[in-house]
Chains A and B, each alone.
Chain A
């Protein structure tokens, strides 16, 4: 079966191909170039790419707030911390290092070829897995979503113009290819899967299930992001700062239009605070309006989704209280129902009062990724311990729910992308 090459040898192209083996072989050769680079040189290069984006007005206009998130991640100091945290000593990526007094030496070798299935819902997130493959000196064969891939290619192509003392952007791009594959083309999907030393997949349940079901090599590592649900909790003490919280949470709801795993769908507010939960819902509505006007304007909503939103809104115009924009850009639904709301996506947030923040612990399991929290110090660590013990992966502050960090989904992806190999100092016997 044929597939489409859309990024190859550092350039955006549009070419049908049936030579997957050829691509795989070339990418494996590309790992040779990466292996000869030091981790600090790769970090410097990524940092320089971010610097080039900072000065690009067109990029700022096209990617808006999302670019800031990426640039923050690509900052040299941030990358050093991320790699050191996941790998323990980042120079273990360059050669054998000692971790302790024992004569054993450790080295993090790349696994080889990562095959990455990037979802259409949040394509820009694919950059994070690509960077992590690069930092661990693995090559990347990326199966993009045929619905949304332009932004991803534009970001990738910009690497060509960036060169540091040791790294040439063009050479780096020799280790990455982006292809489109018809989702019914199980032969090509299976081939992709069998070529992978690391399989990385983002997406909804249907997409993830189909990828997990593909045959793979027994030693291939899987890094599965999603599908997961996220929500948020505010305790009564934190409501002292309600204006700031509403402002920050409005950003959490608006970024990615709630299509990311880290996007909140339900907000629980503990009763008895400075303002009533319903009042907070109204305040959140004002901030969603502001964010839509000034920070993250919402694009056109699909007709099917417009109807989904109308259905939910109408139900709660009867059963609860609805605050919404006239043209469906955002919707706040307040009701005193218990439990997590079915997600509607597209900036529809359900606000529900609770008597005690600990009542949400029972909603926490392995299908929940992020709980955005505004919880006072006296209960904070105990609350976080309880929900994470049950399966939740992250508890960032409100406003930071969608900030990509490592670990993600409960794992250090960098660590999974390497093989830990060992040897011993001479005369260690």
Chain B
């Protein structure tokens, strides 16, 4: 059933058309992980959830993404693990790690290509990565989340250039080299905060070099650091588009997370994030964790049968969002659309008992 799902166009099914095929694929995946990942089986048993039974999507238990920081969860033998993807930075300081086998990697490539193809088309771009060339290299099978996204974009590139040095400052020679070699449309990609830093810290005269280039700007990685310095999306788009000399609507935010393998959520031109056939999104109340109706904000739960080597099929994070429609976006993509709104604030009240760590 998962293969059937992978064969479909990402935004070709309405919610109703997708429902049964997606649930069946989820069930296949849940049974696989239940049978092959003992900790996951224990988790389901403790939740009194039987993947062999009959259940709606909302009954599937969810793992908080932080669990992948705490525990190594895999559903395939160690020998089959080919790659470890880890998040680049976290509030706790511990990176999240997910372990990929060949099946997962193949599925990841197919879904990412399929989704990104819907947004940037089949015509290839010259890619300018606002990152350093070191980032994309695998280190003993380990890849950062930045590298993972950059690698997933390479199939869409005619040529790829990296214009920052290892300290993430502009490497002027690399930029000039890139600008000499580009021929057609350009796609800039970088992590949201890195792009912001680049635009903020780079000499304004550099901006002139981008004149006359037809470009789009893709960025991902989250808004936490920008929220901390009170930069909102509209302001970000304005600054970035001014510096890179493109239209603000060509600046596209991509939502996704390392643990949610192969599924990315770029903004459509109306500012919505569309849920492809490979995944589903449920919004849960921030107090009760019960599903909420469309239009109400809550924690974003992500479901997908794509992960094969680790049980990340239903996860929840402290990201807050809301479903804006079940169908009918003017952009033409079918299915559910949602908005990412913010990250949940860390609990404000601090207790006295937080004294176990550190010197006496």
Binding site for B on A (CB under 8 A): 119-122, 147, 202-207, 226-230, 258-261, 263, 265, 300-308, 310-311, 314-315, 317-319, 321-322, 326-328, 340, 342-343, 345-346, 365-367, 369
Contacts and interface: CB of A to CB of B under 8 A. Distances in A.
Contact of B287 (A327, A342, A365, A367): A327
What DSSP secondary structure best describes chain B's contact surface?
loop
Interface in B277-311: 286-289, 299
Contact of A303 (B39, B46, B345, B354): B345
A263 B286 CA distance: 25
B356 A206 contact: no
Given A303-B344, A306-B287, A343 B356 contact: yes
Contacts, number: 130
Given A311-B64, A327-B288, A147 B348 contact: yes
A304 B345 contact: yes
Contact of A367 (B40, B71, B289, B355): B355
Contacts of B67: 311, 314-315, 318
B346 A304 contact: yes
22 contacts: A121-B351, A205-B354, A206-B350, A301-B287, A302-B348, A303-B299, A303-B318, A304-B344, A304-B348, A306-B287, A311-B66, A314-B67, A315-B70, A317-B46, A321-B46, A327-B288, A342-B356, A343-B354, A343-B356, A345-B353, A346-B347, A367-B360
B226 interface: no
A302 B354 CA distance: 18
Contacts of B40: 318
Nearest to B359: A367
Contacts of A259: 349-352
A305 B347 CA distance: 5
B341 to A, nearest CB: 12
B287 A203 contact: no
Contacts of A315: 67, 70-71
B63 A314 contact: yes
Contacts of A300: 287
B47 interface: yes
Contact of B353 (A227, A304, A306, A318): A227
Contacts of B32: none
A307 B40 CA distance: 19
B347 A302 contact: yes
B348 A318 contact: no
A308 B347 contact: yes
Interface of B: 39-40, 42-43, 46-47, 63-64, 66-67, 70-71, 286-289, 299, 316, 318, 320, 344-356, 358, 360
B201 to A, nearest CB: 26
A305 B345 CA distance: 9
Contacts of A120: 349
Given A307-B299, A311-B67, A314-B63, A228 B352 contact: yes
Question: Taking each of A226, A228, A317, which has the highest tally of chain B beta carbons within 10 Å of its own beta carbon?
Answer: A317
Contacts of B66: 311
A230 B288 CA distance: 28
A306 B64 CA distance: 11
A121 B351 CA distance: 6
A249 B64 CA distance: 29
A304 B318 contact: yes
Contacts of A319: 39, 71
Given A314-B43, A318-B39, A322-B46, A203 B352 contact: yes
A310 B289 contact: yes
A349 to B, nearest CB: 12
Contacts of B344: 303-304, 307
A62 B47 CA distance: 36
Nearest to A203: B352
B353 A263 contact: yes
Contacts of A228: 352-353, 355
Contact of A317 (B42, B287, B356): B42
A367 B355 CA distance: 7
A318 B352 contact: no
B91 to A, nearest CB: 11
B71 A318 contact: yes
Contacts of A230: 353
A328 B320 CA distance: 19
Nearest to A207: B350
A207 B39 CA distance: 39
A120 B352 CA distance: 11
A190 B184 CA distance: 62
Q: Which 3 A-B pairs have the closest CB atoms?
A: A303-B286, A261-B352, A304-B347
A260 B354 CA distance: 10
Nearest to A342: B356
B355 A306 contact: no
A302 B349 contact: yes
Contacts of B64: 307, 310-311, 314
B47 A317 contact: yes
A227 B352 contact: yes
Contacts of B287: 300-301, 303, 306, 327-328
Nearest to B39: A318
A202 B71 CA distance: 36
A318 B44 CA distance: 9
B30 to A, nearest CB: 16
B1 to A, nearest CB: 27
